[in-house]
Structure 1
Amino acid sequence: MKKNSIYIVIGMTIFGLGLLAGRMFFNSTAPTIEGHDHVEDTKEEETIWTCSMHPSIKQPEPGLCPICGMDLIPLEANTSQDPTALTMTNEAIRLAHIQTQPVGQDGKNETSNASWLINGKILPDERQVYAQVPHLTGRIESLEVTYEGMYVKKGDKIADIYAPDIIAAQREFLEAQKLKDINPALLESARDKLRFLKIPASFIENLENTGEVVETFPLLAGKSGYVLNKKVEVGDYVSSGQVLFDIYNLGSLWAVFDVYEKDISKVERGDVIEFSALGVPDQKFKTRIDFINPLLDQDTRAIRIRGQVANRGGVLKPQMLIRGNLLSGSDTKTGPMMIPKTAVLWTGRESVVYVQDTTMDIPTFTFREVTLGSEIGSQYQVLDGLAPGEEIVTNGVFAVDASAQLNNQRSMMNRMVDAPHSDEHPDKIEPVDPEEVTEEARGDLELVLQDYINLKNNLVTGEPDPVQQSLEDLSAVLDQLNEREDMEAHNAAWNAHLKNFKHHLNLMNKETDVAGWRDEFVSLSTVLIRWVMEFGNPGTEKVYVQHCPMANSDHGADWLSMDEDIRNPYYGSQMLTCGITEDTLMQP
């Protein structure tokens, strides 16, 4: 009993000490630390949970994603504030097998030597084909050319012709010679008759000295080359100007290739083709395109392109089959900007890629619309929308787009999400200080602007020939302009405008009718407006920025004009005065 009493006393003592400690801990006033808020500290340390595939899901506690059912993970810091940007975790990147690569610099891009195969054949150069014809009428008494493929040299005798007309002319000459003292004019007239019949002076001199009439006359080869298309035999009667056979100079040939309708936009004059012939498999040849047939073959749906090739050693033969690589932009031209097909969500000319923001700590991708050009091998040429050095998704792009779609962010199927305005918008272009624009640069821009205005005025009237001439004039001016190196910090911006303008002018030159020219004029005008806004009006007259809301498929389009009155280049006489003046650019 006594022992139990001791246990009770000890227990009560421990309980009392516990109450005292609790009272001191919970009821005493905590010391205040200046400048430190425990509530804020708790909030800062609060973890936000998100889905690796659907970053728009954010919850204060762990759980499952309400969209896909995956476990939520802690949200990492440093996310993009762009509403069109999609953030993904490293785990999601791994699961979706997403890969990226930088867009190559023009001329340094590994794909700038992209090529595609075309088939063709060797043909004679039609400019090197000579039609052998007689200059007299008669009967072929002998023929030195006995088979096709025979080689003849210029001046070689190829036939003897019995020509009654020449015999009669010789006799008239000899009769006139007898009367030269009485009537010298008659002799000169007879001499002229022989000369007009293409009788050589040496033959006439021999006739005058010997007095003997020659009954057969030699026909000499007019060119050196190989005889083809032989059309006469011994005993045939021939007329003056009748083609006896053709003489082919095979030292220069044509390499002719067929380009199908879908590939026509890939070729232009000056492109280089490297080819090999089936009959000469161990040699490579090169030619440069100097002619593109303007007519499409209705049966094959192809056009023919050709280039000249020197036939050294005569190894190439007409009708040989050849296979060529068209080197897009090789040798003399800057390589095009190319991206892999796997990077593109193809929706036509205006397609979609995803660009990675490399400044972010976590993977962040932005939807980007790009303008595609030619399809070359496993790549597309990019005309607009990307810059060299930007990182794009090349593998797993569908996974990125699907995540954006599920997050109600901008995607291939959902393009209505607003994106931040680009700094390149004309209203936000920061003008260059006029004192930093050299007189040479201002003069170059004035030449471009003048020819652009002429082009615009001719598009207003809509007459094809003047428009074509204006394009040629503007192209000639652009051909003389080189990249600038005299404006220090502004060289890059100037050269970018120049390159962009040349590119869109080249696209415009590829069109063949007024409708096509007007379509391409939209982009050309946009480039020049930005150029002039940034570097200033180069002339002394006002330049007006005018706008038609109905042009460009109701998306609207701008143009520059020296006339304040609206003269619409996109519709011409159909809606001549449709538009408004949006801005006036004065001389700086």
Structure 2
Amino acid sequence: MKKTIIYTGLALIIGLFIGYLVFSGSDNTTEETHAEHSAAEDTMWTCSMHPQIMQPEPGDCPICGMELIPADQSDATIAGFTMTENAMKLANIQTTIVGTSNADKSVTLSGTLETNEELNAVQSSYFAGRIEQLFINTTGEQVKIGQILATIYSPELVAAQQELLTALKLKESQPKLYQAVRNKLKNWKLSDSQINSIEESGKVKENFPVFASNSGTVTEKMVNEGDYVNRGQPLYKVANLTKVWAVFDAYEQQLSNLKEGQKLQISVNAFVDESFSGTIDFIDPILDNSARTTEVRVVLDNRDRNLKPGMFVEAKVELGAKEDSQISIPKSAVMWTGERSVVYLKTDPNTPQFEMKEVKLGSETGDTYQILEGLEKGDEVVTNGTFTVDAAAQLQGKKSMMNQNPTDSNNKAMVMEMSLPKSFQSVLKPVIQDYLQLKDDLVASDAASAMQAAKKASAKINNIDTSELNKMLTSHFKVLQDKFKAISDTAAIAAQRENFIALSQNMIALVSNFDEIEEIYIQRCPMANNNKGATWLSKNKEIKNPYFGDQMLGCGEILETLPNKYK
């Protein structure tokens, strides 16, 4: 009996203890489950390869099929956006702290040696006639003032000599006639001694010499023996090489460091151990629009004639304290949007959060640009992978190189001005037709037809020569290639529409800069792209939404009609 009571008591105690553990754990589990559920509701999921994908629940990326990962939920500004750490590593995105780069403290100019135009001369014939003999037959020969260059038979000069001999006989009675004839011969560059020699001999000379009027090097021989020349016709070009010009091309950003009268130390490739000193005597006031450079000229002493026109030269311009104090960034950080320069600023040192920033550039120093406005020392900017960051900004509906704002105050599409080669415009037009067919297929929610349209476009675009395209155009072109291929590789209509966003943005950027194009509309749906808005091109004025199809077929507006007048 006692044993029964003892066993019953033990069972009761054990039961109470187990009940406590179970129900207590249940309460904790309930609290934890509720907390996890609450946290899950607040978490957005993204793709490490496609950071533009943002979904409220886990799953697979609609573009590449990779498993989604939790996105960083740090707050971003209206213009800012966030990328995942993994995406940054895969794209090899690198940043640099402004003002910490070891930029050269000098500007290097490259150029060539040229003849000094101020000392160039043309040796001409002083009378008409036939060249009987040339005494200088090759370029590069040295001539001195008074040296005989050629002899010429001149019927005019023969007649003038006969007039002189006749006037000589009438010298006493008609001194003015005699003097006029002598002056006539002097106008043909005959010296007094030559004229006196004719008078003393009493004979007419058939061939007369042409003497060098300048010393220098013959740079061009312009006649041959037997040629008939007119009075004033060039025979030789002569350059005086005792002083030569070093002519440099300076970019507009470098001009603030240059001024007339400034002394430069110049190196010549042919004389690596020597340095030559010269003074800037001229800076061309007109800029070459195509190269964005202007000519800077330095005079060099060359009495020993070691410097030869055509040699390559370099000059280093040391920068003063004012230039040294300027902050600078690597050239790779800068992207161009027409006349504006932009960089991507990392706004949080602890998270991969970025924002586009417009900057004003100063002079170019080595591999860096000076920053006059827009950045401060200590700012962190993207220096490698800038176009990847820009693409992420586009796809997340943020300020980007292509769109400073999705729309302007007049509700027009914002596009940057670019210069497209004529040949590129021509070969891209058939691709535009495939793009428009793809758009129609997405409107109809026909994924199979959309795949075929994208395949046709891919086949055409992959055969386009891009050698004439600059870095910016190549970036847009690469997005077209990637997005057409991505659409052709998936049968999921959602993934096709996701890729169509970036495809359309870059297509609009290119088409908007065509010189000539048939009327086409830039249209936009404000609810597409997770309510960030998305654009597309259409030949039809009526809105037919490719991002929602039948669900919201008429949702959208016309932003712009091309061709337009913004250029």
Give yes or no for TM over 0.5: no
Smaller-chain TM-score bracket? 0.3 to 0.5
Q: TM-score with structure 1 length normalisation?
A: 0.43
Q: TM-score with structure 2 length normalisation?
A: 0.44
